[in-house]
Amino acid sequence: MKTKIFWGWLFVFFSFVVNAKIFDTFGTKIIIYDSTPEAPVGRMRFQIAEDYIIKYATLTCVQNENVRNCTVNEPDSKYIGNHNLFQLIPERYLAEGDRYNMQEYDGPGYKISIYANRINIYNLFSSNTPDRKDKDVAEFLDKIDQLLAGKSEYQFEPIVMDK
């Protein structure tokens, strides 16, 4: 009997001490866009899901006499495997109902959209956020910066389309 009471109190104690939130990543996507003052949500650069990361082609465009000519610098590519990017998302960006204004903190950089349909989250925030001073936000954005610079540990393979 004393053992049951001890385990009961221990369980109650730990239920107050442990305040861990489990984030279900099923159906969650992170999308990274280019951002400029002219186009606050520009071209998509990455789409990140639970078991893959798609890296979209980079373009170089030149406009001559009302004709815009764009060349692809590299093809779309994909990483299939595990990654820890969802575990690094700061908790404040997973709060339901917190909507970030995409025009906020505009300037050169990128925008990050976090979409999770199971918990009704759709947040869009800028890489220029003053929250970057926060340790959790800085760690997450540093990982995104590495991904954008091509300095991440993920090996991308070109996506081959079947004809």
Residue-wise pLDDT for 93-120, tens only, equals: 776 555 555 455 556 678 888 877 766 6
pLDDT digits (tens, 9 = 90+) for 124-148: 777 777 777 888 888 988 998 899 8
pLDDT, one tens digit per residue, over 40-65 is 556 788 999 988 999 998 777 777 88
> What percent of the chain has a predicted confidence (pLDDT) above 70?
66
CA separation for the pair 25, 74 (Å, rounded): 29
Gap between the Cα atoms of 108 and 34, Å rounded: 8
